[in-house]
Amino acid sequence: MRRRSIECFSREEQRIIEQAIKAEKDQRLFGIILCLYTGLRIGELIALQWEDIKMDEGVIVVSRSCHDGWKDGHYIKIIDTPKTFCSHRIIPLPRQLLDVIMRFKETSLSRYVIIGKSEYGAQIRTYQRTFHLCCVALGYGTRGFTL
């Protein structure tokens, strides 16, 4: 099986994406910055709950992932284990993100870090599209999240 190559953003592109997201002041977009700094997959990001962030240790514990589903005509978030055994991991958080995360946690009404329009947090496809539109607006084409 041939592996798909992954096209990464340069440091300068990451800096520009981060500045654009911070200028928007939309808490939902913070997940993009979190992924840039931690390497989280989108399913891991969308499944991330506040209990997975250990502020006193400055880490994220990755122990679940998710995918979108439908049941009886309604969206459901299907929580599962991460993609592979090695995907279970502990990721250190950069200091510059800790204060931002703490502020978001204090005002959040959801158990999920990335908020959406329902109690179940954001939807994967919606978040992928949001990121895609951000990249296109900045002239970076169609690079996007991996599942």
Nearest to 62 by CA among 87, 43, 28: 87
Q: What is the pLDDT of residues 35-66, one digit of tens each?
A: 989 989 999 999 999 999 999 999 999 999 99
Q: What is the pLDDT of residues 104-146, one digit of tens each?
A: 889 888 888 988 776 667 888 888 888 888 888 888 876 665 4
Residues with Cβ < 8 Å from 58, sequence gap 6 or more?
Answer: 92, 93, 95, 98
How far apart, in whole angstroms, are the C-alpha atoms of residue 42 and residue 60? 14
Tokens of 138: 């900045």
